Structure 1
């Protein structure tokens, strides 16, 4: 029986004091043993609570026999009492992202950080917040004759010169840069930054400028096929780089440490220029976490390090500690509004001491942020409104680059006290990696009241300009919400939800089968304290044959659940699993493997197609339950055929699914 003292310690840890692998910073020698013991106990307790509290020793073989949402939530709260401490996230969702409830939409295809809230984007005069926030007071707001916008324009520039002498740009761009760096806890004294059209552009830009003639190697650490990484690989190879990739051990898809170490560590005593290590701290498909110490080992052996922070949680950069592990390059991305539009931009950061090693190259992926007409409203108004224009991202010729591509985002101007500051930004996700559907938002009129500050305390960033009578601010409510919740709350909430979902999916089993065929196979980490909030899985029929991920995604979409799909690769099988290799590895056609024009013959065409789901800080228990309930329908052997017939009957036409 657990002692009261130990129980108290573990419950405190579950409330958020124990974090992922990049939070375990060195401690004084006399506390290391005690700290390690407490952390290990905390993690074991969490796993035990997950596996033993939700219908232990139970397998569900009929989707109609699943426990109800209410019953499941009651058991969920018993298993994770710390989840009750995250109610502030639910309040933010109800007030600022009420479109999710109105549209009954489950968004599990967003990875990254949202800049703005739905309420901020769609606030209009003389409106009320429907349904979810109807109880909140909503006094009328000023009416504007023109809504504020900002635009994005592509520019043909030299990345190195832009980093060295790019200047501050417009007041708007300067303010947004400051906001981004503040949000990510990155110092302007240490890093320079450029905006790029998207994540792929950022990777390709660096590949075009990195000195592969002297530092020949490019080493990537990805357990999935990425359009952005493949764009970098293709460009680097054309410039003479030697391409290497880490491998991941089957079946848990952990990094093959011995192989990776051999590729990173120099066998010669004299340190030489090795090349570029492209390293994510977390897989955006499987949720696997990787040790930050690989970056230190690489830098000690003469490598430059690119940290891909796109899959990290919204506040993980605060805990990362760039002062301890300072990558030479860092890429992150932002989208506009969660559950509505995944468009946005990416940011490429370069350590100032590393800029001189780059080579001059004319690049096409860098963008500018420009103020539009009537960008700044009168400072007497406390909030702005905007309507959304389409972003044009098809570019390639120099002629195309001359044309400005319109991108809109809400800009809020207000009279502020001196000394008060804040930040702002935006990004676009790759089509291959994020297949988020652009849902047409239903008619929604909302108002944001200055008096309702009990849910979120909005910050604001002062723009230094020529005006002396007032200060203008850019408000990014999405970032404000993240800041107000903080790292502990966000990570604790995600940890509870993703582990419950993994456990629930593993309890689904086909009926009337001698081999007790599980319905779902999960790839990478399963129930684990420090796993990420992304999940890669496949659904299997009662014969043990895989249901195509694209089909699962289509059927989920009909249930108003947005999922993604992708391709796991670079999987290594030991002799023990050699026979299993032929059953699980799929070999795709050449044209299917041609990502971003990359026609290299490699292992990229070998891997596993999977369905992916990503949980964000606004995901709630009902979202995860609805995904579980949807997947459980495949326990019905005729589910797919019934859905095909239903679709044909409703649309009076046949369709291939």
Structure 2
């Protein structure tokens, strides 16, 4: 059942999906792009048609007990997507490096991003008595100051921070010659830093392209408005939620001939909620019409930057985020990249959000290692007190304090243990990141290594594994899984004469180049929506982590007027649509949805489990049964 075009379209996609809009090519090159683009379009259509007709053909499921088993479904899945077997390396990596996902029987579909480390990297060594096995590789501490000053003059960057920034820029293919980078506490902090430093007095407008409510974008809007910005937003046509091109073009294109900077254009590449991908030509159009461009790359897949064409578009700002370990530790940080040629236009502002990376385990290891020098032990005492004063990672501060109180005792024991310490040729350490060159040289090949010139090179095994898989394998795997899930969810129908669909999907349906994210709602047999937060809670009880979001800026044509009245809802805490709040009042109308995000480690069992869970809502009494069961369990717990 596999389309013969699928392999060819994959090879053509990078060159033909987004042809270079900036440069004039020769006629021969134009013909090549045109021919490959035509073939690509045909293969995309063929892929969608094959998926629609081959996933449970001529079948509708009206009872959750009638669903085929996991094994039966997987067999049919691999018949449709025969090349899925070529992604078995991902399953091997998942089993070896992220075994907790299988051992806990947990399906993690509630966030999107890029993981720095693998689970095995954390748990490979026996933990020290003082440090729990889930102790983070590093902590962060906030620092105040101006973003512009930080970018122009920098600060005292630790060896850890330097090594980490080098690794991330290498992973994202970002040149240090063109961009400067700062670590921020999270995505929201990065957006706010730009808003507080951007010259809205001279470049008045802020234009965003988001089909969903984003805490980070809302924070940017609020900060920008306070500084005098005029806020605008793209709208999305119902029902497919495609960009309203005519309206956006009118906002982007300048009628003035003079090339004056108009403001900040914030472009997310694709929606982290609906999976909609947006044409890159909007960035080109914005740049040509005097806008500074901020690219939100937080929703990009682990290797999507390889196909982004950063050298072609050269955005003025780029934001990306990283978490620590998939399915186990989603904490982490964000990275704000600023084009060096743009730094001079920023304004000095005192803001928060920039952070330092603190190598926690290094301090603990030195404190527990009698071979540490007096200077190192004194540094532990000093750094421990500083971190405690900052309130950085309370558990971390407490552990540091425990070790610093031992500093004097360790120094007294030094002479007695000097001979023993000298014989420690092989040191097995639980530390994942070391910024001491001496300790880095003792490491063999596990968690950090010397680059040969004294600089520390951080081993982020999560990133290394992604690099080993490559763009094509990761993209193809996600494409097969997300399209199977969409197709299968649409096969669920209530067992009544009307045949009401159980699931409503928002944004793209079955599509070759849709993103690995899904927004949907579940409806009962009466056609009433089941609240997304309830679905999230019930899914959590089934060891499936989902999230929910709010779609907004939706535009309805006249023929959807009745549907607009029926489905739009008001966001809690919304404002009245008068005066200066008219823009906010409009964005307060939208649709609350359940969301699922597929990562590069997602396997078929994960999407099958979600499908089987949602199918349970075909039982008209499912919610009541779960509510009764939950109440009964709680009562039993209280009695015990």
Q: Which residue of 2 aligns with 1:374?
A: 362
2:601 equivalent among 618, 641, 645: 618
Offset of 1:300 from its aligned partner?
0.6
2 CA distance for matches of 1:640 and 1:404? Answer: 42
Partner Cα separation in structure 2 for residue 601 and residue 39 of structure 1: 40
Establish whether residue 570 from structure 1 lines up as the match of residue 553 from structure 2: yes
- The residue aligned with 1:61 is 62
Q: Is the 8 A contact 1:310 1:332 kept in 2?
A: yes
Structure 1 residue matching 2:312: 3-state secondary structure: coil
2:480 to 492, 496, 510: 496
Count of equivalent residues: 571
Greater C-alpha radius of gyration: 2
Instruction: Report how far residue 589 of structure 1 moved.
Output: 3.6
What is the alpha-carbon distance in structure 2 between the residues aligned to residue 375 and residue 486 of structure 1?
35
Aligned residues of 1:17 and 1:488 also touching (Cα < 8 A): no
> 148-157 or 503-512: which moved more?
148-157
> Pairwise mapping of residues 151-162 of structure 1 onto structure 2 (< 5 A)?
151-162=139-150
1:377 Cα deviation from its structure 2 partner:
7.2
What TM-score does the superposition give when structure 1 sets the normalisation length?
Answer: 0.81
More helix by share: 2
Q: How has the CA–CA distance of structure 1 residues 101 and 449 changed in structure 2, closer, same or farther, with 3 Å as cutoff?
A: farther
Counterpart for residue 274 of structure 1: 262
Alpha-carbon deviations, 1:173-206, whole Å to 9, x = none? 1101101100100000000000001111101111
Deviation at 1:369, TM superposition (A): 1.4
Alignment of 1:478 onto 2:424: no
In structure 1, C-alpha distance between the alignment counterparts of 2:136 and 2:548, rounded to whole Å: 36
Residue in structure 2 matched with residue 391 of structure 1 by the alignment: none
CA contact (8 A) 1:21 1:530 kept: no
The one-character-per-residue Cα deviations of 1:208-239 (angstroms, maximum 9, x if unpaired) are 00000000000000000000000000000000
Q: 1:110, 1:338 within 8 Å by CA — same for their partners in 2?
A: no
Which residue of 242, 246, 264 maps to 2:234?
246
Q: Is residue 2:313 matched to residue 1:325?
A: yes
RMSD, matched Cα: 3.2
Contact map agreement 1:21 1:290 (CA 8 A) in 2: no
CA change 1:459–1:56 in 2 (3 A) is: farther
CA contact (8 A) 2:552 2:589 kept: yes
Structure 2 residue 585 is matched with structure 1 residue 602: yes
The Cα shift of 1:629 comes to 0.3
Alignment of 1:38-437 (within 5 A): 38-125=39-126, 149-167=137-155, 169-372=157-360, 374=362, 402-405=390-393, 411-412=432-433
Q: For the Cα contact (< 8 Å) 1:170–1:371, is it kept in 2?
A: no
Q: Distance in 1 between matches of 2:15 and 2:542?
A: 33
Which piece of structure 1 moves more, 601-610 or 22-31? 22-31
Deviation for aligned residue 1:11: 3.8
Other-structure match for 2:527 = 544
Structure 2 unaligned segments of length 5 or more: list them.
367-386, 397-429, 438-442
2:283 match: secondary structure: helix
Of 223-232 and 471-480, more deviation after overlay is shown by 471-480
Distance 1:35 1:95, change over 3 A: same
Counterpart in the other structure of 2:399:
none
**Relative to 1, partners in 2 of residues 1:625 and 1:226: Cα closer, same or farther, differing over 3 Å?**
same
1:467-486 per-residue CA deviation (whole Å, 9 max, x = no partner) reads 5xxx6442111111111101
> What is the alpha-carbon distance in structure 2 between the residues aligned to residue 145 and residue 401 of structure 1?
21
Q: Find the counterpart in structure 1 of residue 412 from structure 2.
A: none
| 2:379 matched residue in structure 1 | none
Residue 644 of structure 1: aligned partner: 627
Match of 2:543 in 1: 560
Could you tell me whether the CA contact under 8 Å between 1:154 and 1:405 is conserved in 2? no
Deviations 1:379-421 (A, max 9, x none): xxxxxxxxxxxxxxxxxxxx999444479896256999xxxxx
Q: Find the aligned partners of 1:145 and 1:587 in 2 and give their Cα distance.
A: 50
- For residues 86 and 23 of structure 1, do their structure 2 counterparts lie closer, same or farther at Cα, with a shift above 3 Å needed? farther
Equivalence for 1:136: none
1:580 Cα offset (Å): 1.1
Q: Distance in 2 between matches of 1:635 and 1:148?
A: 42
Task: Answer yes or no: is the 8 Å Cα contact 2:551–2:593 preserved in 1.
Answer: yes
Question: For 1:157, what is the secondary structure of its paired residue?
Answer: coil
Structure 1: where are the runs of 5+ without partners? 127-142, 379-398, 417-447, 451-457
